[in-house]
Structure 1
Amino acid sequence: MDVKTTFLNCNIDETIYMVHPENFVSKEYKFIVCKLKKSIYGLKQASHQWYHKFHQVITSHGFKANVVDNCVCHKFSGSKYIFLVLYVDDILLASSDTCLLHETKRFLTKNFKMKDLGEASFVLGILKLLQKNYINKVLDRFNMKDSKPRNTSIAKGDKFSLE
């Protein structure tokens, strides 16, 4: 999903004055400034304000930030779960339940101007990469074509969640 006009969604928590853009006002008023009421593109605080606004909204919907990366959030509802990854104005959602996924999309669309980009196949300028052919070649090379998948534990010390 893509958030439209990302940085324009936020209020600012300090007093900021801005010089008018060139040719915006007549030359006789060239020393007049304007006081910003909302965040704008190019403002140093814009991305920080956006993150806090987004975090407030999603935590109100039951999401919790990951202990390692605050831009990765999760929500558990019984045996159902959904993960949300925020990268500036791009949101990647992954869920075990279609209804939970659609509910989250509706919630986000209600709170922000959004564009649903559909199933993720091109994220952050990276094409979807599949390792299937490579894995099959490696298994074939080492005569392991008939091996069966097994669950393996995560290396001790890796933290993805406190839960």
Structure 2
Amino acid sequence: MKLPQGFAKENDMRVCKLNKSLYGLKQASHNWYQKFTSSLLELGFKQCKADYSLFIFRQNKCFVAALIYVDDVIMVGNDVGKIRHTKEELDKRFSIKDLGTLKYFLGIEVARTKDGLVLSQWKYILDILDDCGMQGCKPSPFPFERNLKLDKGSTEPKADANRYRRLVGRLLYLQDTRPDIAYSVNVLSQFVADPRQNHMDAAYRVLRYLKGTDGQGILLPRDGRHDLTAYCDSDWLGCPFTRRSRTRYILFLGGAPVSWKTKKQSVVSRSSTEAEYRSMASTISEILWMRWLFKELDIVLHKPTRLFCDNQAATHIASNPVFHERTKHVEMDCYFVRERVESREVQPLRIDTRMQIADLLTKGLGSQNLQFLLDKLGTRNLHAPT
């Protein structure tokens, strides 16, 4: 623990003595979770196997689900009486505070429109801009310059490391409703150990982009379709330091994005096909988890999940065993993907590169391409001028 700023003098060797943790003992969180879980189980809820923080009550036509995050709880269902009874019972045990209809949860705002629900982090973005003194900055039409390759910047002046890490950490949480900045944040997070001025300038460009799109969020359509679709992509040898590729995927439920990821692969791929195939295997793992979760929610997916990939060789390998000899170095992924294709849980399809939505997570795009993919993504800006 460090002494407060302004209290310590230069070369001060004093340290802080910890009398009591702010949240009690280190076992407190575990005991809280155990207590809350047992309370819901006593009320007839069952713990979801796909997600242990989700609890489901199902009896005849009555359905209620409770999703918990530490001491924050969201409850949804088709029986208002059961929801009210559950809240009353929990209030007897924990003295809860009922905030009414869901409007704000963990920094995510929930707005109701005629088309459905819009999830955004408008206030959170304004707080970031205010904290960085960027309220009056000039907006940028895109978050990351095209073809920009950030290096370690050993000749650049050092930036304020604490400020840079704080900013990148807040941008990481902002990705929950903004997949359009996922690639930018993925690149910026590689330099938190030794940030330089060129890294800070790139981070400020992301803030300038957020300034012009602060009200943008994800639209969850009202029609409630249950078709699950996925897009996967990779950039071969995308990291200039380790030459590892990046895995990118995005999953849609009923036309609304519900899961996305951009992450550097653990090994160096020897070909673009291998990089794409590893990305495909990671995407299928997420698809299987989503299908498992839907099954517990009584959502039946009769058709295989369509997986769109813009690499023709990867889609051929997934369906055609003839290509197996060319992929001995990715043998495990080959068996895993092909097994799911043969069981008709996943259907790999090729898509034109220009229509690949996962490009949002793969590289910096110009304003026109970015807006085109955002329209396909189904985003909505509630604060845009009409």
Indicate the TM-score class for this superposition, using the shorter chain for normalisation.
0.5 to 0.7
**SS across alignment from 1:91:** strand
Match of 2:57 among 75, 80, 83: 75
In structure 2, the CA distance between the partners of 1:117 and 1:159, relative to structure 1 (3 Å rule), is same
State the SS of the aligned residue for 2:26.
coil
- Superposed, 1:13-162 pairs within 5 Å as 21=19, 41-129=23-111, 132=115, 151-154=225-228, 157=288, 158-160=291-293, 161=296
Larger radius of gyration: 2
Q: Alpha-carbon deviations, 1:59-90, whole Å to 9, x = none? A: 01111111111111100121011000110010
Query: What does residue 11 of structure 1 align with?
Result: none
Alpha-carbon offset, residue 162 of structure 1? 8.1
Task: Give, in whole Å, the separation in 1 of the partners of 2:81 and 2:224.
Answer: 29
Change (3 A) 1:150 1:78: closer
User: SS in structure 2 opposite 1:114?
Assistant: coil
Runs (4+) of structure 1 moved beyond 6 Å?
none
In structure 2, relative to structure 1, the CA distance for the partners of 1:100 and 1:70 (3 Å cut) is: same
Check the 8 A contact 1:65/1:73 in 2, yes or no. yes
| TM-score normalised per structure 2 | 0.27
Give, in angstroms, the shift of residue 45 of structure 1.
1.2
Distance across 1 between alignment mates of 2:18 and 2:110: 44
| Cα distance, 1:45–1:112 mapped onto 2, change above 3 Å | same
- Matched residue SS, 2:292: coil
The 1:83/1:44 distance shift into structure 2, 3 A limit, reads: same
Specify the SS of the correspondent of 2:86.
helix
The structural deviation recorded for 1:152 is 4.0
Find the aligned partners of 2:41 and 2:32 in 1 and give their Cα distance. 14
How many angstroms apart in 2 are the aligned matches of 1:162 and 1:97? 16
CA distance, structure 2, for counterparts of residue 43 and residue 21 of structure 1: 11
Q: Work out the CA distance in 1 between the residues paired with 2:67 and 2:226.
A: 25
Quick one: distance in 1 between partners of 2:30 and 2:82? 28
Is the CA contact (8 Å cut-off) linking 1:67 and 1:162 kept in structure 2?
Answer: no
* Larger RCO, structure (CA 8 Å, separation 6 or more): 1
Q: CA deviation at 1:124?
A: 1.1
SS at match of 1:50: helix
- Percent of paired sites with the same residue: 30
**2-structure distance, mates of 1:59, 1:99:** 18
What's the offset of the Cα at 1:21?
Answer: 3.8
Q: Distance in 1 between matches of 2:111 and 2:77?
A: 20
- Give the distance between the partners of 1:74 and 1:107, measured in 2 at CA: 16
Unaligned runs of 5+ in 1: 1-18, 23-39, 134-148
Instruction: Give the Cα–Cα distance (whole angstroms) in 1 for the partners of residues 68 and 27 of structure 2.
Output: 18
Once the 2 structures are TM-superposed, how far is the Cα of residue 114 of structure 1 from its aligned partner? Answer: 0.7
CA distance in 1: counterparts of 2:225 and 2:103, whole angstroms: 26
Aligned residues: 114
User: What amino acid maps onto 2:110 in structure 1?
Assistant: K
